[in-house]
């Protein structure tokens, strides 16, 4: 038993394990709520130092989903077994976005060649979310951001923030060092999200966030690390954006692939909920952002780097590039004037739920407006 007075409120098992991972002495932690997790507790306590404790805790979370759910504060594991009829009858919420059609809750990878502007884009996103600003003309809900700037120092960050014209008061917490994700850092990150209420975490870069042990070419190593990040984001309702690199050889112009071009194992692209590929010819202002993911249709945005604001902006000479199916929807609204989602689906021959999703995406892109139940194409000057 701990030395905590028996009359004090009993800590939950999750609280006790978090205090242990933070380095609190064992005899100062109330252990009365440990219950069924006593073997986990004893194994962690037996570790010789704090880093070893965190490694043991991290390994246990990887090996036992129930223990991971406990640490994440999720009292009830998500449903993973379904009959066909249950799935057909179930109601699921729409995907949650921190930045509409760009960064969903879960795991997103932003990758590109070295020195093409990935970190500037990450900082731009952090500033927009932390202040409730805009990204590519879209309003962004204000939320807390945790930015792990593992390749930067304070002076460089300050210089970039000034160039991007950050105002005081942004809800962004910077950390320039972090325990490796595979050696206690994942648990520390989980604690930080729980305590800080962060809805966006940016890890710049993945290579700096792991120790030298995991092999980035190894499917198992990368699936374990990124899979845990994805689950953490989904369990906590947070978006985790990792900045990564493209390999030396990427697709030729017109044949780029944000999944295949990420440096290392194919698992890095397979695990992510969304991928953003930044493609830019060195020395040129313009670039392409190629987007793909589970809950968004593939699309390409043409962007320019604005030297006045040090931010990426949509090219002035063209709006967002639409998929073929989205273009069909816009053309239908051009002829209909305004219409319900059901009417647009009937005219285009698209399945109704898919058409509804495309209309919502087009609203987020500013191409279509919604008034009541009627959608209407936005007239461009």
Query: Fold match between 97-314 and 324-377?
Result: no
CATH architecture of 97-314: 3-Layer(aba) Sandwich (3.40)
3-state secondary structure at position 124: helix
Alpha carbon dihedral 281, 283, 288, 289, in 10-degree steps, equals 110
Distance of CA 190 to the CA centre of its chain: 14
**Signed CA dihedral, 188, 192, 194, 198: sign only:** negative
Arithmetic mean of pLDDT over the chain: 84
**Res 7 pLDDT > 50:** no
**CA 254/CA 237 separation, integer angstroms:** 35
Name the more confident of 306 and 219: 306
3-state secondary structure at position 154: helix
**CA 24/CA 17 separation, integer angstroms:** 10
For the stretch 100-125, pLDDT in tens is: 888 999 999 999 888 888 999 999 99
pLDDT band at 282 (very low <50, low <70, confident <90, very high): low
The domains of the chain are located at 13-72, 97-314, 324-377
Mean pLDDT for the stretch of residues 11-30? 84
Question: Domain 324-377 adopts which CATH fold?
Answer: Arc Repressor Mutant, subunit A (1.10.10)
**Residue indicated by tokens 């919604």:** 370
**pLDDT score of 5:** 46
For the stretch 138-151, pLDDT in tens is: 889 999 999 999 99
Whole-number percent of the chain with pLDDT over 90: 25
**Res 66 pLDDT > 80:** no
**Res 254 pLDDT > 60:** no
**pLDDT score of 51:** 87
**Res 249 pLDDT > 80:** no
**pLDDT score of 178:** 92
């Amino acid at each position: 038993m701990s030395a905590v007075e028996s009359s004090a409120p009993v800590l939950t098992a999750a609280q006790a394990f978090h205090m242990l991972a933070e380095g609190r002495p064992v005899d100062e932690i109330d252990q009365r709520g440990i219950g069924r997790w006593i073997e986990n507790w004893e194994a962690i306590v037996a570790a010789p130092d704090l880093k070893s404790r965190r490694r043991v805790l991290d390994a246990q979370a990887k090996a036992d989903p129930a223990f991971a759910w406990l640490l994440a504060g999720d009292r009830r594991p998500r449903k993973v077994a379904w009959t066909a009829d249950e799935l057909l009858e179930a109601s699921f919420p729409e995907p949650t976005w921190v930045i509409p059609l760009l960064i969903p809750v879960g795991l997103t990878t932003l990758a590109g060649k070295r020195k093409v502007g990935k970190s500037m884009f990450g900082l731009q996103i952090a500033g927009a979310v932390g202040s409730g600003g805009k990204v590519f003309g879209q309003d962004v809900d204000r939320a807390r951001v945790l930015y792990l700037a593992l390749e930067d120092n304070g002076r460089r960050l300050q210089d970039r923030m000034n160039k991007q014209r950050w105002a005081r008061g942004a809800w962004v917490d910077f950390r320039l060092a972090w325990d490796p994700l595979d050696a206690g850092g994942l648990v520390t990150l989980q604690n930080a999200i729980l305590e800080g209420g962060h809805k966006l975490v940016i890890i710049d870069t993945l290579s700096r966030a792991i120790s030298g042990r995991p092999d980035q070419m190894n499917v198992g190593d990368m699936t374990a690390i990124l899979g845990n990040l994805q689950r953490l984001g989904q369990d906590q309702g947070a978006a985790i954006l990792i900045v990564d690199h493209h390999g030396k050889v990427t697709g030729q112009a017109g044949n780029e692939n944000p999944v295949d071009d990420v440096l290392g194992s194919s698992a890095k692209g397979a695990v992510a909920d969304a991928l953003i590929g930044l493609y830019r010819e060195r020395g040129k202002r313009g670039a392409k952002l190629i987007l793909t993911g589970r809950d968004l249709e593939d699309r390409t945005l043409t962007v320019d780097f604005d030297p006045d604001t040090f931010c990426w902006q949509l090219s002035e000479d063209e709006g967002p590039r639409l998929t073929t199916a989205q273009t069909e929807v816009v053309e239908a609204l051009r002829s209909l004037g305004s219409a319900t989602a059901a009417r647009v689906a009937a005219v285009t021959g698209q399945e109704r739920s898919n058409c509804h999703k495309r209309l919502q995406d087009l609203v987020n892109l500013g191409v279509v407006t919604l008034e009541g139940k009627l959608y209407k194409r936005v007239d461009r000057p």
